[in-house]
Amino acid sequence: MRRPARYSSSRPPTDAAREPPAAEAAPGTPAPPASRFFSLTNPRLLWAALLVLTALLCLSLSLSLRPQPRKLTQDDINAAVLKTLETTQLPSAVARAYEAIRPSVVRVMSYGKSKDGKEDVEYGVGTGVVIVDKGIILTNLHVVQGAQSIKVVFSDGLESTAHITGLQPENDLAVLQAHKIPDDMIAATMRSTGDLAPGDHVLAVGYPFGIGPSASSGVISGLKRTFRSPEGKQDIRNLIQFDAAANPGNSGGPLVTMDGEVVGIVTAILNPNQQRSFVGIAFAVPIENAASAVGLTPF
């Protein structure tokens, strides 16, 4: 039996040298055709070709039977939106309003000297709201009145001293200028009270009893109210009455709409007794009055 040739450095004698020469073809006789690699007489090549053709046929059938994607219709989009609303918990309007105003709310602390005059003592805690991103803050006058020093704490925890730059005693308002502000200071958005009506939802944000920032929601209870201070020394007019819970420490904080826009500065709660606790009636100075304390006429 013949073995396939192996390459080596020395060449073995060729078959032509071992076999007798073939007979010469007669003149005019055509030479036999050269051997072709892809000859269909080779059974292996024939089966390989059949297998390739079969695979191509199966692939073509698979592609033709595959379902084509259906075009989206408006009904499909509506159904997807409804499905998302049913399965996804969205934040409430109150939560969205709180997140919008929170970066602009500050804690306001006023200090005076101790009885022996040797150290500063905190004697007032209230709230303020940044209305100009240069660190201009609105708060209540009674929060900082008589203070020998004032400190504010921003939403990111930055603490700064501040000083009073303006007063509006008839509305119990004070304007503060912080000496340091956050790099990304965000001022609140103010909104006209011209279209407010009883029943509109509002949110009060502040530091009741120093705890906060805290949020409480309610509705506008009335407009153009008048409040008399407990000592009877002052009447504040044209106030917004609301029923969102407010307590000592909320003073100077923002009253905002469900869009997170400031419509008032919380200034007083009605106390028929001496408990200084919320009984369901609170008042805010309209933002138009408050903005005028800073010299702003935004509306």
Does residue 161 belong to any structural domain of this protein?
yes
- Percent of the chain beyond pLDDT 90? 54
Amino acid at 125: V
Does residue 88 belong to any structural domain of this protein?
no
Express each pLDDT in 217-267 by its tens digit. 999 999 999 998 766 677 899 999 999 999 999 999 999 999 999 999 999
Summarize the confidence of residues 154-169 as an average pLDDT.
Answer: 95
User: 275 pLDDT exceeds 80?
Assistant: no
Q: Which of 144, 178, 212 is the last residue of a domain?
A: 178
Tell me: do 209 and 287 sit in the same domain.
yes
Q: Which of 120, 144, 178 is the last residue of a domain?
A: 178
Lowest mean pLDDT among 30-34, 157-161, 198-202, 236-240: 30-34
Express each pLDDT in 178-193 by its tens digit. 999 999 999 999 999 9
Tell me: do 207 and 172 sit in the same domain.
no
Q: Using CB atoms within 10 A of its CB, is residue 164 exposed (0-12), middle (13-18) or buried (19+)?
A: middle
pTM exceeds 0.85, yes or no: no
Tell me: do 215 and 165 sit in the same domain.
no
- Percent of the chain beyond pLDDT 70? 77
Does residue 265 belong to any structural domain of this protein?
yes
Q: Which domain holds residue 145?
A: 102-178
Quick count: other Cβ atoms within 10 Å of Cβ 67? 5
| DSSP states of the chain | -PPPP---SSPPPPHHHHSPPPPPPPTTPPPPPPP-TT-TTSHHHHHHHHHHHHHHHHHHHHHHHSPPPPPP-HHHHHHHHHHHHHHS-PPPHHHHHHHHHGGGEEEEEEEEE-TTSSSEEEEEEEEEEEEETTTEEEEEHHHHTT-SEEEEE-TTS-EEEEEEEEEEGGGTEEEEEESS--TT--PPPB--STT--TT-EEEEEE-GGG--SEEEEEEEEEEEEEEE-TTS--EEEEEEEE-S---TT-TT-EEE-TTS-EEEEEEEE--SSSS----S-EEEEEHHHHHHTTT----
Active site residue 76: no
Active site residue 142: yes
Q: Which residue has the tokens 């409804």?
A: 82
Does residue 245 belong to any structural domain of this protein?
yes
Does residue 76 belong to any structural domain of this protein?
no
Summarize the confidence of residues 292-299 as an average pLDDT.
Answer: 69
- Measured CA to CA, the distance from residue 4 to residue 1 in angstroms comes to 10
Does residue 117 belong to any structural domain of this protein?
yes
Domain total for the chain?
A: 2
Tell me: do 210 and 139 sit in the same domain.
no
Tell me: do 210 and 270 sit in the same domain.
yes
Does residue 236 belong to any structural domain of this protein?
yes
Per-residue confidence (pLDDT) for residue 42, from 0 to 100: 63
Instruction: Single out the catalytic residue among 104, 142, 216, 243.
Output: 142
Tell me: do 247 and 209 sit in the same domain.
yes
Express each pLDDT in 77-125 by its tens digit. 888 878 777 777 778 999 999 999 999 999 999 999 888 878 888 888 9
**Predicted confidence band at 174 (pLDDT cuts at 50, 70, 90)?**
very high
CATH number at residue 206: 2.40.10.10
Per-residue confidence (pLDDT) for residue 292, from 0 to 100: 80
Does residue 183 belong to any structural domain of this protein?
no
Per-residue confidence (pLDDT) for residue 113, from 0 to 100: 86
Active site residue 235: no
Per-residue confidence (pLDDT) for residue 155, from 0 to 100: 95
Instruction: Single out the catalytic residue among 104, 110, 160, 172.
Output: 172
User: 9 pLDDT exceeds 50?
Assistant: no
Lowest mean pLDDT among 33-37, 75-79, 99-103, 201-205: 33-37
Tell me: do 216 and 148 sit in the same domain.
no
Q: Which residue has the tokens 């900082």?
A: 144
Instruction: Single out the catalytic residue among 160, 216, 221, 251.
Output: 251
